[in-house]
Amino acid sequence: MKMTANARLLNRPVTEPVTALIPAVSPRPLRAARMDFSALESAPYWARKFARRFLGHCHDITRETAENAELLVSELVTNAYQATGVPSGPETTYSQRADAPVITLSLRHFRAELLIEVIDSSPLMPHLTDPGIDAENGRGLMLTEALSTEWGYFPVSYGGKCVYCVLPTGA
């Protein structure tokens, strides 16, 4: 597995939210929201809309941070969909869609940081890839590495994993 400077694999199972591991000025977020999505190909679209609405209420987050957060939400939810989602296409049945696994997106706005967490049911841990020049995908974690001050992942106690990243608010 390839790790980078900002990535951090936690060496123990985490039973509390990642916020317990992040030193913040205030132990409570100024604003927090969470939403569950069915692991369907439309999940990244709805996650971006949810993030955009949430970030619109966070008045001390810069426009650049909000745009980066939307991009990272889209990338992380896309990765979660690819790891756990229902195959797309006309051959997908209604029952497959109805029984789709859940992807959870959590956004927490602290004074100086924005925490993004994406939880899915796949036991496969994320890893950075080295996509070719012409590759159409495989750059989500590279973007996460480039745009966040910290990112990492850990298994969740009820199965699956949580991938998180932290962005400075710009305040």
Domains of the chain by range and CATH? 29-127+156-171 (3.30.565.10)
Q: Does pLDDT of 104 surpass 60? A: yes
Q: What value does the mean pLDDT take over residues 127-145?
A: 69
pLDDT band at residue 121, thresholds of 50, 70 and 90?
very high
Q: How far apart are CA 13 and CA 140, in angstroms?
A: 24
pLDDT band at residue 46, thresholds of 50, 70 and 90?
very high
Sign, Cα dihedral of 23, 27, 30, 36: positive
> Looking at residue 24, what is its pLDDT?
46
> Looking at residue 59, what is its pLDDT?
87
Shortest CA distance to 31 belongs to which of 49, 56, 14, 48?
A: 56
> Looking at residue 142, what is its pLDDT?
82
Q: What value does the mean pLDDT take over residues 77-91?
A: 79
> Looking at residue 32, what is its pLDDT?
94
Sign, Cα dihedral of 85, 90, 96, 98: positive
Q: Does pLDDT of 73 surpass 90? A: yes
What's CA 165's distance to the chain center, in Å? 7
> Looking at residue 171, what is its pLDDT?
64
Shortest CA distance to 168 belongs to which of 148, 139, 154?
A: 148
pLDDT band at residue 18, thresholds of 50, 70 and 90?
low
Q: Does pLDDT of 110 surpass 60? A: yes
Of 17-21, 35-39, 72-76, 156-160, the least confident: 17-21
Q: How far apart are CA 90 and CA 84, in angstroms?
A: 19
Which position has the higher pLDDT, 99 or 159? 159
Instruction: Specify the 3-state DSSP secondary structure of 164.
Output: strand
Instruction: Specify the 3-state DSSP secondary structure of 34.
Output: strand
Cβ contacts of 71 within 8 Å, gap of 6 or more: 143, 147
> Looking at residue 146, what is its pLDDT?
84
Q: What is the pTM of this model?
A: 0.78
At residue 79, φ and ψ (nearest 5 deg) are -60, -40
Which position has the higher pLDDT, 68 or 127? 68
Report CA-CA distances (Å) from 14 to 51, 65, 73, 88, 156: 25, 27, 21, 32, 7
